[in-house]
Chains A and B, each alone.
Chain A
Amino acid sequence: MSKRKKISIGNKTLGAISETLEAGTAAQNNNTHFEVLPVAAISLDPENPRKLAISLEDIINGLSKEDPEYAQKLTEYEELKHFGAEIKKDGLIQPITVQSKGEGRFTLVAGERRLLGSKIAGINRIPAFLRASAESEYKLKRIQWSENAQRKDLTPWERVTGLYSLYKTYLGEINPEAELSIPLIQELAGCGKTEAWRYKTLLSLYQEKGEKDPVIAALKANKITNFTTAANLVKSKDPEKALLNLNKKDQEVVKQPLNSPNSSTKRAGRKATQVSFGKTKNITVAKNLLNALADTKLGASLKPLMSEIDWEDKSQISELFNNLLKQLEQSTKDEQR
C-alpha cells in the first residue's frame, strides 16, 4: 500500500512567518528601540549643558524683549525656524534619542536642535530612539558628551562641568577608585593627550577649589572663553595677574566643535604663507572645475586651451590651472600700478 502524501502549508508561508519571527526576536534583543513620539511629550534634560539659550517655553510662549538674552534667542529662533522648515520638507534623517520617564513622558538625551526646530515648524510627532529607563547614567552622559562634541561648540565652563559630571558617574558606576588621569580623560572625552592635559589641569583645579578659584570663577562668568588659554593660565606663575591681562583673542568664543580637525588641539606649525586650492586624483572633477572657470570672464583665457591638452596627463592639467593663477596674479599687479 503506498504511503499517503502529506499536505504541506507551503514554504512561502512558512518562510514568511519564520523571517518575521526572527526579525521581531532580534529587535527584542537589541537595546535601542524606535518610536514616533508626540513632540509635546518630550522635555529637555535639566542636567545636560544647554547648547542653546532659547528654551521650549520660549518657543511656546514667545520671546520677551525684556529678556537679557533676547537678541541671542531671536537669532537662534530664526536659525531653528529655517531648520524646522527643512525637516518639515525633507523629513528628519536622524531620529532624536530620548529616555522614558514613565506615564508617556520622555526626557531628551540627544537632539535639542532637531526637537526645537520641529516644534517651531509645528511638527506634532518626531522619530526617536528610546532608551530603557533603567539605562546607566554613565552611558547616558557618554552619549550626551559625544553628541555635544559632534554638534555645536560648548563654552569652556560647560566643557569642564560636563566632563566632570561624566567623571563622577564613571566613579559611581564603573570604578570608584579611578583617578583623574590623562588616559582616563582621553577615554572619557575622546580626545588626544594635549587636550586631555588641559582638561586635567582645569578639572583638578575645579575638583580641589571649585568656584572659589579665580580662574574657575572667570570660566563660569565667561570671562575666559578660550579653553587653551584657560589651561595655560592655571599653570602660569601668577594666574590672577594673567587674568587681568587677558587680551581680546583669549576672550573670543571658540567657534569650532570639540573634535573638529580645525580645533586648536590639532593646529600646529607656522601660519600659512600661501593659499592652496587642494589636490584631487579625479580627472573628471578637475575637468569640470576648469570647464566652469573657462565659462567665466576670469577664466576666459582657459577656453582655447581646453581642447589642446591631454586630459589623461595630470601634470598638464595642473600646469593649465597654475598658468591661470599666474596670469591672474600678473593682471592684479598690473591693475595696482
Chain B
Amino acid sequence: MGSKVIVIATDKGGDGKTTLNILLSSYICNYKLKEGENALLIDLDPQANASSYYIEMVHDPYSDVGGKKPARHPDADEIEGWDGVSSSADIFTGEDLFPYPTRLNNLSVLPAYASKLEDVERVTKQDVASLVHDRFKSKIEQLKNYYSYIFIDTRPSKGPLTTAAIKACTDLIIPTKMEAWSIEGIYGMLQVWKQETYSRPSDNPIKLVGFLPNYVLNESLHKDFLEEIRATDGIKDYVLPVELKKRAAYSRLIAETSDSGEIPKFFYELSAQDPARLEAENVCGTIYERIMT
C-alpha cells in the first residue's frame, strides 16, 4: 500500500479540524507507525495552530490574520547560507525544505508561515493551477517517497491552498459540528471533493473517509441532528460511526506547552481509563481502519 496523504478540511471555522488533526497524527505516530517509518505534518493554515502544538512558533508581524511563523530550526547553525527558518510556504517558492523535529521521534512538521502562505494565496485565477496546485501536488509526490503518512492541516476555506491539499490527497475527512451552519458547510467542501473525483484515475482515487461528528454536546439539537444524518439514505454511509465530544481534556492538551512530560501533552499520556483517551483511541482507530481499507 502506498503512502497516505490525509487532509482534514472544512469550509467553516471552529469545526475542529486542527484538534482532529493533532489527535489523528499523534495516534498514528504512537500506535501505528512501524520501525523505520516516518510521518510528516504540513500546516497550510496561517493561524498555525497545528504547528504550535508540535513546535515552537512566534508571532508573524506581517500576517493579515495575526498568524504565526516558525522559530529558528534546531539545525539552523549546521547549514551554511540558510536563514534557519523553513515552512510549508517554501513548497510553493521551490526552496529546500527542512521539516522540524517534534517530541514524537517519527513525526516531523513543515510548519505554517502566515504571511508567506497569505502571499501564496494571492494568485490570479489563471495562475492558481500552475503556481499552487501543480507545485504542491508535485512536491507531495516526492515527499511520499520519504513519509508513510502525510497529514495536511488547512484553513477553513475552499481557497487555493485547501484545494491544492485536496488535489494532492489520498484521504479526505470532513469534521462537522452538529449545528445547522456546520452541516450546511459540508456541501461546499463536498463540491471540491466531487470536482476532484472527475480527474482522478482509478489507480489514484480520492477517498472520502467520512464526516466526523465533532464537539458533540449532550443536548437535544445535537442529538437530533446526529440521529438524522445517521439515518438519511445517501449520507449515512459517509457519517463515521463514532464521534468526538466537546471535552476540556482536549483543550488542556492543546494548551500544554511544557516539554517536561509531567503534564500530559498527548492523549495517550492520559490515564488508561480517561474517557477522553478512550474516545480518542476509538475515533482515531475507526478513522485509521477506514483509511487503510
Contacts and interface: CB of A to CB of B under 8 A. Distances in A.
Interface of A: 4, 6-10, 13-14, 16-25, 27-28, 31, 33-36, 38, 100, 103-104, 124-125, 130-134
Contacts of A28: 197, 200, 202, 205-206
Nearest to B179: A9
Interface residues of B, number: 38
- The 6 A-B residue pairs with the shortest CB-CB distance, nearest first, are A18-B234, A35-B199, A132-B201, A24-B194, A27-B197, A20-B190
9 contacts: A8-B224, A17-B186, A18-B233, A24-B193, A27-B194, A28-B202, A33-B198, A100-B201, A134-B203
A31 to B, nearest CB: 6
B193 A33 contact: no
A interface SS class: mixed
Given A16-B187, A21-B238, A130-B199, 18 more contacts: A6-B227, A6-B228, A7-B220, A10-B180, A13-B183, A17-B183, A17-B190, A18-B234, A20-B190, A20-B194, A28-B205, A28-B206, A33-B198, A36-B129, A100-B201, A104-B141, A132-B204, A134-B203
Interface string B72-94: 00000000000000000000000
Nearest to B225: A9
A33 B190 contact: no
A104 B203 contact: no
Nearest to B203: A132
Contact of A33 (B183, B186, B201, B227): B201
Given A9-B225, A13-B184, A18-B234, A24 B201 contact: no
B190, B202, B233 — most chain A CB neighbours (10 Å): B202
Contact of A38 (B134, B141, B206): B134
A13 B203 contact: no
B286 to A, nearest CB: 19
Given A7-B221, A104-B138, A21 B235 contact: yes
B137 interface: yes
Contacts of A9: 180, 183, 225, 228-229
